[in-house]
Structure 1
Amino acid sequence: MPNRELDELDRYIVYRLQQNARSTSAAEIAEDYGVSPSTVRNRIGRLESDGVIQGTHLDIDYELVGYQLFTIIFCTAPIPKREQLAREAMDVPGVVSVRELMTGEENLHVVAVGRDSDDLSRIGRDLSKLGLEIVEEELVHNEYSCPFYWFGQDTTSPGEEQASDSDPNGA
């Protein structure tokens, strides 16, 4: 699949939506950027149809609703079956996400939630039945995320100075 180049407006839209897609309107983005709301809506539609934006995700406080065990289960899957097993793991009740790594041991990170240790034991058994080798399980205390920094910045590459109209010698 060829790379999709993002122009400055596309990057700004993605950055703003990463901050809070649920309550950020096209009209707000348009006003802040100085374009029409229809331009922003069209760009969002194109970003979605091109697969750049693949959905919006809620940040849920599982503990607040009775699921106090938030865990990452590190699994090893045979490389030829890794993608298939990752997709099958998503069907296990209690699993909320799976991260597929390209190489090595512990090449699937399964994030799951449960009310108690019985829930986590069942999830572990279900993952094992799929053919995953569970290497380690870690309870998560907190998780933090933020928008990707470079979408909110100018197009200058990291470590690269912006071009300036002034004489570098101070003249």
Structure 2
Amino acid sequence: MPSRELDEMDRYIIYRLQGDARSTSAAQIATDYGVSPSTVRNRIASLEADGVIRGSHLDVDYEVAGYQLFTLIFCTAPIPERERLAREALTVPGVVSARELMTGEENVHVVAVGRDGDDLSRIGRDLSALGLEIVEEELVHNEYTCPLHWFDETSDPAEASDTGAESESE
């Protein structure tokens, strides 16, 4: 898909929605940016139609929800099957994301959660049954995320790295 040129308003909308899409309304963004709410809603619809915004995802603290084991699983897939296997990994109960890498031997990264070691063992067996070779597994203590600061034209990217990133204890 060809890239889409983003203007200042597009970047501002994306920045605000990345920070908290659930609680940030088009009216709030419009007021802060100085345009009408319908303008913001139209821009969001356009960004979605063009594939820039692909969805709004819930940030779940799996540990609080009872899934205290948050694991990153490094896998190898044959290159012709890499995309299919990465997508099929999402069908394994406990897998919450899969990332397909273009280079390297460990070309599929899977994120999974479980209540105990038995859950993680089952997930590993299920991934292997799909055809993924598990190379390494790492338990994750915390993951930290933040909006891409370059979408916020009002901040200096050098200063942006010092702002508080949101913590997801998983």
Q: So what's the TM-score if we normalise by structure 1?
A: 0.89
1:32-51 superposed matches below 5 A: 32-51=32-51
Off by >6 Å, runs of 4+ in structure 1 = none
* Bigger Rg over Cα: 1
Structure 2 partner of 1:144: 144
Structure 2 partner of 1:96: 96
1:114-162 CA deviation, whole Å, 9 max, x = no partner? Answer: 00000000000000001100000000000000000110126x999xxxx
SS of corresponding position for 1:45 = helix
Structure 2 partner of 1:134: 134
1:71-127 CA deviation, whole Å, 9 max, x = no partner? Answer: 000001111100000010000000000011101111111000000000000000000
SS of corresponding position for 1:143 = strand
Q: So what's the TM-score if we normalise by structure 2?
A: 0.90
SS of corresponding position for 2:84 = helix
Residue type of the alignment partner of 1:138: E
Aligned-residue Cα RMSD (Å) equals 1.6
Distance 1:65 1:97 in 2: 17
1:19-168 superposed matches below 5 A: 19-153=19-153
Q: Do the aligned residues in 1 keep the contact of 2:69 with 2:113 (CA within 8 Å)?
A: yes
SS of corresponding position for 2:71 = strand
Size of the alignment, in residue pairs? Answer: 158
SS of corresponding position for 1:65 = coil
Distance 2:11 2:66 in 1: 37
Structure 2 partner of 1:2: 2
What is the aligned-residue identity percentage? 79
Distance 1:49 1:129 in 2: 37
Query: What displacement does 1:23 show?
Result: 0.2
1:3-60 CA deviation, whole Å, 9 max, x = no partner? Answer: 1110000000000000000000000000000000000000000101111000111111
Residue type of the alignment partner of 2:98: V
Structure 1, unaligned runs of 5 or more: 159-171
**1:157 and 1:96, CA in 2 relative to 1: closer, same or farther beyond 3 A?**
closer
SS of corresponding position for 1:120 = helix
